[in-house]
Amino acid sequence: MSSKDYSYDIPDHPIKYLEVDPRIIKFDHRAQRSLNKTRAKTIAEKLVPTALGTPIISHRDDDGMYAVDGMHRIYACQLILAGTVTVRDEVRDAVQTITCEVHSRLSMANEASLFIIKNKESSKVGPTDEFRIGVVAGHPLFVDTNTVLEKHQLKVGTRAVNAVRGIKGILDVVKEYGPDVLDQSLTIAEEAWGRTPDTWHSVIIGGIAIVISRHPDVVKPAELAQKLKRQGDPATFKAKIQIAATNNNTRLDGTKGRLKAAHLAVASAWNANRRVNKIPVPNIFE
């Protein structure tokens, strides 16, 4: 099990609530999600000032104000004040200044961490954006994961031969078992199937990680890779996991169900045609 502390931390710093001209607020996409201008325009067209909320911004001492949270609302106000979007006069007047939660003396890494903390429990931030911003934040979970992915020349966010699928599941492997287990799991998967889009699917990697972390004195990585290779290509193996997780489409599956099924599939592959050094096979429907 991983014993490293992957909690978030931001140093104590000044916070004030101020009226700010939205036109002076800047955006730094290294510590933010990507700006969707179409979404912001839609917000501007339907903006209700009393529902604007309190955007969070960072006052960088020598470079002005930068959005931390509420970027699309801020940009919507900028569109209104620039005359790009036509609204009622009272709406335009109401957004001449907006109430903001202003944080000072934060580094860019702190800003990125603050963004993740503010959005972590919401559905607003996709896992790919969270990963990218977490790396900028210097958060150990994302940095450790990114270090392993870079070692394997893997990226996040695309379906390609060099891209992982399901970054949330990959992060869960690191949280649960540590970066070394992720490293070893990726190596086993590549030795089994080569570099294909499905080789790096987080469910498959998660199943491998469970098996090698629970049975390190029994399971030999090179031998496990050969055993997995005999199961067919990774797409076929992933399909087997899906069938097991849904009990041949008779029940719904969730993340835990797929991981249990992946554990079952990898453990069964290891045990195939083996008389000694077998490992326990889980009952995924318990």
Q: pLDDT per residue over 226-251, tens digit each?
A: 999 999 999 999 999 988 887 755 45
Its pTM stands at 0.70
For the chain, give the percent of residues with pLDDT over 90.
74
Count of domains observed in the chain = 2
Is residue 29 within 8 A of residue 68, CB to CB? The reply is: no
Instruction: Clarify whether residues 164 and 224 are in a common domain.
Output: yes
Q: What is the mean pLDDT of residues 98-112?
A: 94
Statement to judge: residues 263 and 161 lie in one domain: yes
Write the burial class of residue 35 (CB in 10 Å: 0-12 exposed, 13-18 middle, 19+ buried): middle
Q: Average pLDDT, stretch 197-219?
A: 96
Q: Is residue 257 part of a domain?
A: yes
pLDDT band at 286 (very low <50, low <70, confident <90, very high): low
The confidence score (pLDDT) of residue 51 equals 87
Range with the lowest mean pLDDT among 25-39, 63-77, 166-180?
A: 25-39
What is the C-alpha to C-alpha distance for residues 97 and 100, in angstroms, rounded to an integer? 9
Residues 111 and 183 in one domain: no
| Average pLDDT of the chain, as a whole number | 91
pLDDT confidence bin for 124, thresholds 50/70/90: low
Residue 280 lies in a domain: no
Within a domain: 147: yes
Whether residue 252 has pLDDT greater than 60: no
Q: Which residue has the tokens 């960072």?
A: 58
Q: Is there a domain that residue 286 lies in?
A: no
Phi and psi (nearest 5°) for 9?
-150, 135
